[in-house]
Structure 1
Amino acid sequence: MAASPLACLIVEDQAPVAQALDLLFSLHDVPTRIAPDAASALQQVRAGGIGVVLQDMNFAPGETSGDEGAALFHAIRAVDPAMPVLLMTAFTSLERAVSLVKAGAADYFGKPWDDARLVASVRDLLAMRDRPSPLPATTPAARAAGSPDLQGIVFESGAMARVVDLAVHVAAADVPVLITGPNGVGKEKLAEIIQANSGRAGRPFVTVNVGALPDTLLEAELFGAEAGAYTGAQRRRIGRFEAAHGGTLFLDEIGTLSLAGQAKLLRVLQTGEFERLGSSTSLRSDVRLLCATNVRLPEAIASGSFREDLYFRLNVIEIAVPALRDRPEDILPIARHLLARAPTDPAPALSADAEAALLAHAWPGNVRELQNRLQRARLVATGPAITPADLGLDERTPGSRGTAQATVQGSERAALEALLRTHGGSVSRVAEVLGLSRQALYRRMERLGVSLERRPRS
């Protein structure tokens, strides 16, 4: 006898709202259960048969703090740590909901909600709960013995184990995924893992850095152009949507896309159709869209620089990649792996002092900075083992982990000023070390208060 399908548990004290949600899901064949309060919700989670929880943030009359919702979320995670929880919130509880998403909630939805996005999220999470976890263990040996294609990613931390597990889980869902996190953490690697474990594995995987494209070239790059469509277009050009047909299209730095570019992308996502520049013939392309950004898109929406409707289209599932400083267990394994790949025999080793320096550094440039520093060390090292000085992390270099924990921004500012001094004020060289564009580095300098007056010429 087949087991009953997992249900979505709706935790909502307002009966009309609960009934509206129940009706919405019934129209899309999503099984539901309803709990009017936290006690009932926990009882049903313990009883089993629940695949995802959709919970309100407030239950008592007049309560708007979100404290009740936060308490329920943590209680659910204590009963079932793997249970996906979706939050429903009014504006007054938005800040608390965002903090819970950072703590592990699957997503949050405002009231009134977007029907299509809500149903899609619940369906995807139920589908993932119906499949066994591809990474049931967190030890390296257990992961290596498993079947997922992890594309050579190296990690030891539980934080990255959860990120990779989620990437493998969502791979089969064939829905848009938004990968967020600071520059240099490996967002493209996560996109490669999703592609490699999806039904589109072995098909085209096309990457576009939309942040590097001016508006004048964006349309031709994404959708293609006919001969003569613009100056220099001597023959037909196939766009990235066409090139990725049947596979995956990865749009990096989506948060920097102009509003005009966002409107063009949204139209394709809404209609599934596009035209080459200079043509009126509509084309269709079967692609899975993955996007990445280091921009906090909810804040960009609030400031008017990012479209909310596009955000909902892209953010069916979000994967947040933590900064390297927040997963120190990964620093030395990644460093050793990178050195083992060095084109020298034998591979260079790290001295004990170098390992200590790596662990003490705040890593504002994340894994990309680590890679660049190791490359530098291989070139300048003269002894049998790499030293802190070879890494550019001697005792004069600010950025210790203790400082970073006390004030991350102050440490980043000091590290950035030290890098500018080390490289003679060359913005280009510092940008290269950190794995940033010059424009991104200038923005970081402004954010951290590295004044224009103190910047040497680059």
Structure 2
Amino acid sequence: MARILIVDDEEKIRYLLSIMIGRRAHLVDQAKDGAEALEMVSSTPYDMVITDMKMPRLDGTGLLKQIMLLDIPCPVVFITAFATVESAVEAMRMGAADYLTKPFEEESVLLTVERTLKLSRIMAENRDLKKQLDNGACASKMIFESKVMSDIIDLAAKVGKSDSAILISGESGTGKELLAKYIHGQSLRSHKRFVPLNCAAISPNLVESELFGYEKGAFTGANKRSIGKFEYASGGTLFLDEIGDLPLDAQAKLLRALQEKKIQRVGGNAEIPVDVRIVCATHQDLDGLVEKNRFRRDLYYRINVFPLSPPPLRERKEDIPALAVHFLKESFNGNDVVLTDGAKRLLAQYPWPGNVRELANAIERAVILEENNAITAQTLSFLKKAHGPGENEGDYKLPPDGVCLQTLETDIVRQALDMAGQNQTVAAKMLGLTRAKFRVLMKRD
């Protein structure tokens, strides 16, 4: 069953074609001119469009040009009253898939429709292949070396093959959306859409229309029908980020949609079946929100079938060097820049409150600041300032048995030199010493 749009300023032509095509169990919508049709194809995915060439406001050729300009993947068939070679050639030259001539013969119409739908399926397969390649690229961006992340990825790969709802919990910047894309790429739905929606970024009074869409005239400003994220993601994966910020009334409607697998557009009565896989994410404690009656308990159980919790970066420091090198290569001149051992040590010591996202930003900033094609601890000194002065000062505790001061000084000098890339001036500055005093300590070694 396909969805087909018929565009003609003559109602009897639209009616006749709708009857013919409807007999093959296809869904048929109608538009009275190209302008109305353009609004419809912009908001609703159609498998093909059949349009008259001459119409008021926007004619068939203008509609085709707009569809191609907007890169809407929908083949167009022209209706013409002149069965001439010239009109057919002109239609094909502009990008039409085929053409129909008036008066219509039902057999010819149905043959043209089926032939064009085969083209539509080929176009869809090409789009799906591109999505699969994108998903593969996304999976390759899962950079890790730690066992804890290896275990998370293994679980994600296993649950990805099912249709179970997944709740990804973790701090901001831990890569929850990237993990959700990886799960989608491992699923049987990988050839369909991955549709993200940030619940925290939507005005509360627009959540329902974003999720379920709306009909023309449903509210002020609704001058055309619009499909929501559920319909748009049908067959694929709907990723609801920051689900904890969803208003309670929207939570009830979301729960019904998940239970019934049907939705109603705002302002509409028809129940529309949808087939989506739900992956949710949050940085909040949903258990706590449930106890405070700020999140529905029944919805929580519905979305928390399989929980995943990617750890913060400070708990998987083994991943920091690999991630840093990855982000370095992604930077505009990262291929020619290296990280010194001192820089790597500083990256490992920093607590990363912003997690992987902060690390990516830090590397990008360091690439801009670097000199001599090397990022040193001095290049990354802005991290210590961001962490706050004095947070690590005074933490050293003298052990009960004491220490060898000379050995301690030698070790500190060596660490400072390593972190500074063997630059004595920078190393001295790190220890709060003049270069002369620093050189005295070096000579004691």
Matched with 2:224 is 235
Deviating runs (4+, > 6 A) in structure 1? none
**Contact conserved, 1:224 with 1:239, CA < 8 A, in 2?**
yes
- Residues in 2 aligned to 1:367 and 1:345: alpha-carbon distance in whole angstroms: 18
What's the offset of the Cα at 1:164? 0.3
- Please, which of 321, 324, 332 is the counterpart of residue 343 of structure 1? 332
- Residues in 2 aligned to 1:209 and 1:379: alpha-carbon distance in whole angstroms: 31
Mapped pair 1:332 → 2:321: yes
- Please, which of 331, 334, 343 is the counterpart of residue 354 of structure 1? 343
Matched with 2:274 is 285
Query: How many residues are matched?
Result: 258
Mapped pair 1:161 → 2:150: yes
- Aligned CA distance change for structure 1 residues 333 and 240 (closer, same or farther; 3 Å): same
Matched with 1:172 is 161
- Please, which of 170, 176, 188 is the counterpart of residue 187 of structure 1? 176
5 Å-filtered alignment, 1:291-302, equals 291-302=280-291
- Residues in 2 aligned to 1:395 and 1:277: alpha-carbon distance in whole angstroms: 51
Q: Which letter does structure 2 place at the counterpart of 1:369?
A: E
Once the two structures are superposed, residues 57-107 of structure 1 have per-residue CA deviations (whole angstroms, 9 ceiling, x without a partner) of xxxxxxxxxxxxxxxxxxxxxxxxxxxxxxxxxxxxxxxxxxxxxxxxxxx
- Residues in 1 aligned to 2:294 and 2:235: alpha-carbon distance in whole angstroms: 31
- Residues in 2 aligned to 1:383 and 1:148: alpha-carbon distance in whole angstroms: 32
Mapped pair 1:368 → 2:377: no
Q: Which letter does structure 1 place at the counterpart of 2:387?
A: P
- Percentage of matched positions with identical amino acids: 42
**Contact conserved, 1:179 with 1:291, CA < 8 A, in 2?**
yes
**Contact conserved, 1:361 with 1:399, CA < 8 A, in 2?**
no
Matched with 1:218 is 207
- Please, which of 374, 377, 393 is the counterpart of residue 366 of structure 2? 377
**Contact conserved, 2:333 with 2:367, CA < 8 A, in 1?**
no
5 Å-filtered alignment, 1:44-443, equals 150-344=139-333, 346-393=335-382, 395-398=384-387
What's the offset of the Cα at 1:391? 3.2
What's the offset of the Cα at 1:219? 0.8
- Aligned CA distance change for structure 1 residues 346 and 181 (closer, same or farther; 3 Å): closer
- Aligned CA distance change for structure 1 residues 394 and 185 (closer, same or farther; 3 Å): closer
Q: Which letter does structure 1 place at the counterpart of 2:244?
A: G
Name the Cα RMSD after superposition.
2.3
**Contact conserved, 1:249 with 1:289, CA < 8 A, in 2?**
yes
- Residues in 2 aligned to 1:182 and 1:188: alpha-carbon distance in whole angstroms: 12
What's the offset of the Cα at 1:238? 1.2
- Aligned CA distance change for structure 1 residues 151 and 240 (closer, same or farther; 3 Å): farther
SS of alignment partner, residue 387 of structure 2: coil
- Aligned CA distance change for structure 1 residues 369 and 148 (closer, same or farther; 3 Å): closer
- Residues in 2 aligned to 1:397 and 1:278: alpha-carbon distance in whole angstroms: 50
**Contact conserved, 1:297 with 1:311, CA < 8 A, in 2?**
yes
- Aligned CA distance change for structure 1 residues 397 and 215 (closer, same or farther; 3 Å): closer
**Contact conserved, 1:376 with 1:390, CA < 8 A, in 2?**
no
- Residues in 1 aligned to 2:371 and 2:222: alpha-carbon distance in whole angstroms: 51
Q: TM-score, normalised by structure 1?
A: 0.53
- Residues in 2 aligned to 1:312 and 1:349: alpha-carbon distance in whole angstroms: 47
Once the two structures are superposed, residues 138-193 of structure 1 have per-residue CA deviations (whole angstroms, 9 ceiling, x without a partner) of xxxxxxxxx99834210000000000000001011111011111100001111111
What's the offset of the Cα at 1:262? 1.0
Q: Which letter does structure 2 place at the counterpart of 1:267?
A: R
Moved more, 242-251 or 273-282: 273-282
Name stretches of at least 5 consecutive residues in structure 2 with no aligned partner.
Answer: 1-135, 396-445
Q: Which letter does structure 2 place at the counterpart of 1:268?
A: A
- Residues in 1 aligned to 2:383 and 2:187: alpha-carbon distance in whole angstroms: 44
**Contact conserved, 2:138 with 2:178, CA < 8 A, in 1?**
no
